Amino acid sequence: MNDVGEEISNSMKIPAQDQIKKIILAADFSDASKDATHHAQLLAHTYHAELKVLHVFDISAWNVPPSHYLTTGVFDFTAGVSDLKAEDLYRLTKSKEQIRQREKDTLKKLADSFDLKVETIFTEGDPGHEIVRIAEELNADLIVLGTHGLGGWKRFTIGSVAEFVGKYAPCAVLTIRPKIR
């Protein structure tokens, strides 16, 4: 165990029956998520815990896809998704599949970069709900995730995955704000 890990372990004086055995790192590949990755690895080493890296492909983002998600073609976004031509729907579906595969590949690369054995979990849906669901299914002891630190109007309109997870998770939740770069 490293000095920091030992210091954390000794200062917390957690009884053996309450030790952290299973940690879920919820990764969205943002800067906040990268910072959370460091903490999840440290905790997994400190407690000799299983580390599972979870990524949720947010399909709701595809209801009206932002142009930066698309890899080919130009779409008329003044029309509804149901009004798209067949060729546009094909390109949209192909682009969605390419993004899905890219995110799976990124998840694997992230897991391969760790200096301990981890399991990856790739799922689709609403990130907050999926993180809570997976934590319940796996009987997790801790969820580690980054927070973007949105406030005011942005938080109200966009919502906060970290806030949702903190409210509904079946276990402890550690949220990590990104370092100021």
Contact between residue 143 and residue 172 where contact means Cβ atoms under 8 Å apart: yes
- pLDDT at residue 114, rounded to an integer: 92
Residue 65 has a pLDDT of 45
Q: Using one digit for the tens of pLDDT, what is the confidence trace for 160-180?
A: 888 899 999 999 999 998 776
**Whole-angstrom distance between the N-terminal and C-terminal Cα of the chain?**
29
pLDDT the model gives residue 53: 97
**What are the pLDDT digits (tens) for 102-158?**
999 999 999 999 989 999 999 999 999 999 999 999 999 999 999 875 555 444 434
H or E element in which residue 24 lies: strand 22-26
- Taking the C-alpha atoms of residue 36 and residue 51, their distance in angstroms, rounded to an integer, is 13
pLDDT at residue number 51:
97
Quick check: 86 pLDDT over 50? yes
pLDDT digits (tens, 9 = 90+) for 31-84: 888 889 999 999 999 999 999 999 999 877 655 444 434 444 444 444 455 555
pTM, two decimal places: 0.73
Question: How confident is the model at residue 99, as a pLDDT?
Answer: 86
For position 9, what pLDDT does the model report?
46
- Indicate the domain borders of the chain: 3-60+100-176
Of 8 and 58, the structure prediction assigns the larger pLDDT to: 58
User: What is the pLDDT, as a whole number, of residue 30?
Assistant: 83
Q: CA quadruple 42, 43, 44, 46: dihedral positive or negative?
A: positive
Q: What is the CATH number of domain 3-60+100-176?
A: 3.40.50.620
